[in-house]
Structure 1
């Protein structure tokens, strides 16, 4: 008789965890298309400034929005990381449990369970797994997992991705 698989571990939601999560889950977009909105805002602002008699404040405001858009694109990762590090979950311990039913996370602020049946696709990354469900995704780092837990997740990945095809 085989026993059901259960694995539990506790780790800290620290800066290195958030950096790994960001790098695995946010696709890098180095194309020039991401700056299109910023360029359009700047051009509209210049057109309003030079071609109309509207108050110059409005034109400079639109140009400043274009600059702010460039700033938000350029510093996307540090901004996201700063928001995570000032959240109430930062530097707290998270207990992760993986079993036959799904993946559960429990901390002082959050208690959630993601059932295997709710996961539509699992993508293996360099340092973990991206779990796709209900138009969103979660990242599961492999650095806190045992070899048995990694093998279990690899098996679940094959099963879930085979059903998705």
Structure 2
């Protein structure tokens, strides 16, 4: 059984976002949506001569660009204002499961429920039937990482 502790702080949240984003659905801007909204806006302004609708659609395209550009600081800020921010997380790993708990939330992934484990440069992304979790390599030793990867291969 392996037991480790880490703190949910800003650097951890930033690392979590950076490592998880590579495998997420929103890792590329929505060029088609921005182009479509801009085109509709221009058609509304010049074709339909409806400046209000056209300006509204173009502003929506700009908001989409801004939301993509600021997605990391926005996500980190939301995590920092959560009540779990700053709390200690205890991770316990054994032959049956991975369990992580802090005073506000906990999760348990049984090995048979884990669908895949991806080792990134700085951590492990653990996918299960109930969602995904990120564990930083700074919170785990080499022996624990090898155990997790071996457990996943055996199930």
Q: What is the TM-score with the length of structure 1 in the denominator?
A: 0.82
SS in 1 for 2:138: coil
Trace 1:2-151 onto structure 2 (pairs within 5 A): 6-27=1-22, 34-54=30-50, 56-134=51-129, 136-151=131-146
The 4+ residue runs of structure 1 with deviation greater than 4 A are 28-31
Report Cα offsets for 1:2-46 as digits up to 9, x if no partner: xxxx12122110011111111111128886x63221121111111
Structure 1: gaps (5+ residues):
1-5, 161-165
> How many residue pairs end up in the alignment?
153
1:158 aligns with 2:141: no
- The residue matched to 1:108 in structure 2 has which SS? coil
Q: Secondary structure at the match of 2:84?
A: coil
Distance 1:97 1:135 in 2: 18
